[in-house]
Amino acid sequence: MAVTYTKLWHILIDRDMKKKDLQAAAGLTNHVMLKLRNNQNITTETIGKICKALNCQADDIMEFVEE
């Protein structure tokens, strides 16, 4: 199973936010942003930061898909 953050990008579009806005709001590093763009695994701590910044749940920003 692979992870995808397509839902996250849709939330940003719906809220008229840029990736830089998310990065600043959640305190994410450039490295984490690169992992998100490449649908790579991130820590649960990072998922928590994103969810807190966006006031949402983990399943609102990510999903697992068959490879």
* Domain count for the chain: 1
- Determine the pLDDT at residue 62: 98
- Determine the pLDDT at residue 48: 98
Domain containing residue 8: 2-65
Q: How many CB atoms are closer than 10 A to CB 42?
A: 19
- The tokens describing 24, both together, are 């600043």
Amino acid at position 46, single letter = T
- Determine the pLDDT at residue 28: 99
Which CATH number covers residue 24? 1.10.260.40
Residue-wise pLDDT tens digits, 15-61:
999 999 999 999 999 999 999 999 999 999 999 999 999 999 999 99
- Determine the pLDDT at residue 67: 84
N-to-C CA span, the chain: 6
Residue 58's nearest CA partner among 48, 66, 67 is 48
